[in-house]
Structure 1
Amino acid sequence: MSVFNSTNGLKIMLVVTGLLLSGCTVKDTRMYYWGNYERMLYAHHLKSEEVSSLQEIEILTQDIDKALASGKPVAPGIHAHLGMLYASMGDLDAAVDALNREKQSFPESRVLIDGFIQRISNAKAITK
């Protein structure tokens, strides 16, 4: 009697197939929720004519909501980018709010973010 008969061969093939298929699943093990940020940032810098600031704000706001729903923290830079978009559109209060959320989430960014906030505060003082 052969050790490798048709029943054993079928079982081995099923086990190997199962192992191969289980290796095909992709689990997101990243620490932060990135959403569309990387693609949007690429488009912002290299294809800026294709995506408006308003569309970027909408994309980032949706990504922030999805991050909260997933239980993962928002990726570094998302709130800062959102703040700079608001500032470019003239919504300085929303810009400062977004920048403060970045600083709260990533205290190591304090010096950079405080510089942005100071520039926005100076712009607000000039426009009054």
Structure 2
Amino acid sequence: MGKAFVSWGVMVAGVMGSGLLAGCAPAPKTLYQWESYQPQVYQYFEGDPKEAQIEALERDIQKIRSTNSLAPPGYHAQLGLLYLSVGKDDQMVQEFRTEKVLFPESATYMDFLLKNAKKGS
């Protein structure tokens, strides 16, 4: 009975020790760095000033780039829509093209937006 108790105690100590080590492991790195993207999309639909939204997204993209992270899908498209709404067509085109390069699955939609933006000019 003494040996069984000791081996059971060693097993429990081993499980607890590995649990403690797992608790110290660093959190996995997220695929995308969101910054204030989601609140900015909400503010876009709320009608908040476009210039302030552009400033926030531009500031955030600098932070994202400085950490060698990726902006989430839609980030550059949102920034492009904001540029379009304030008449910065060259920057809008650049953002839509960036979205297409980073997320090829968005190409059809980005082409649609570019085509319709040119018609509106």
TM bucket normalised to smaller: 0.7 to 0.9
Deviations 1:77-114 (A, max 9, x none): 11000000111111111111111111111010000000
Match of 1:30 in 2: 30
| Alignment equivalent of 2:67, drawn from 70, 74, 78 | 70
Structure 1 portions without partners, runs of 5+:
1-18
Structure 2 portions without partners, runs of 5+:
1-19
Aligned residues: CA RMSD = 2.2
Aligned letter for 1:86?
Y
Q: d(CA) in 1 for partners of 2:62 and 2:83?
A: 17
- Kindly indicate which of the two structures has a greater share of residues assigned to helix: 2
Residue 41 (structure 1) aligned with residue 41 (structure 2)? yes
Q: d(CA) in 2 for partners of 1:88 and 1:28?
A: 37
8 Å Cα contact 1:96/1:120 also seen in 2? no
**TM-score, length-normalised on structure 1?**
0.70
Residue 114 (structure 1) aligned with residue 111 (structure 2)? yes
Match of 2:101 in 1: 104
Aligned length: 102
Residues 52 and 107 of structure 1, relative CA distance in 2, 3 Å threshold? same
Q: Which SS does the other structure have where 2:56 is aligned?
A: helix
Q: d(CA) in 1 for partners of 2:29 and 2:57?
A: 21
Residues 115 and 34 of structure 1, relative CA distance in 2, 3 Å threshold? same
